[in-house]
Amino acid sequence: MTNPMKMDALPEGMALVETDDGRWFAACGPLSEETPHRVFLLKGSSAGIPPALGLVDEPGQGYSSREEAIAAYRAWLEAAGMPGHWRELAARTEVYPERNTWYLDEIARLTGDATPLLVCGIEVHAVVIAVLDGIEQPIDAAGNTPDEAIEILYQRVYAWHCQQETIQSRASDDTTITTSS
């Protein structure tokens, strides 16, 4: 007879299965009270359910103890979550504050003193509303770090500003040609 498992000892979100031959398998379980549509809870014997990919008779499959399965799950969870944690940390880390200050000053000068909005999550999103002749133009950028997002935003604002100058110059030239004719 098998000892009953202590469910409170499992990490949150973990599902643990022991097969008839004593092997242990770890998986992610639902984290909410509701059962997702892709999970079916079966009551009774599993004898009538065919295996999805054939029998698991390879000796290297599963773990020989409950503790090994939990340790493997924790290692997998750490490896799976670490890139996301690093991206979140990078999105909140400013490496070149002096350069960013210059970019932000130039963005303000080119857009009529607009202040960019920066939102940090897994990546950084930056947006500024540029105003020229009463017309508002949102300009946005995204990057992995604040430095990257601000630099990309500056490049886009500068390109927008040059385009506006070209349009105004052409309009000025057309006015000059029309009045001289």
Are 175 and 151 part of one and the same domain?
yes
Instruction: For residue 1, tell me if it sits in a domain.
Output: no
Instruction: Answer yes or no: is 2 within a domain.
Output: no
What span, in angstroms and rounded, lies between the C-alpha atoms of 166 and 156? 15
Considering only CA atoms, which of 150, 101, 99 is closest in space to residue 123?
150
Domain limits for position 107: 97-180
H/E run at residue 139:
strand 135-143
Do 103 and 151 fall into the same domain?
yes
pLDDT in tens, 122-143: 899 999 999 877 778 999 999 9
Whether residue 132 is found in the same domain as residue 155? yes
Both 145 and 114 in one domain: the answer is yes
CB 114 within 8 A of CB 126: no
Residue 61: strand, helix, or coil:
coil
Residue ending a domain, among 50, 73, 91, is 91
What is the model's pLDDT at position 71? 83
Taking residue 118's Cβ as centre, other Cβ atoms within 10 Å add up to 19
**Does 169 score more than 50 pLDDT?**
yes
Share of the chain above pLDDT 70, in %: 71
Same domain, 83 and 102: no
Mean pLDDT of 2-13: 56
Is 0.75 surpassed by the pTM of this model? no
Pick 147 or 42 by higher pLDDT: 147
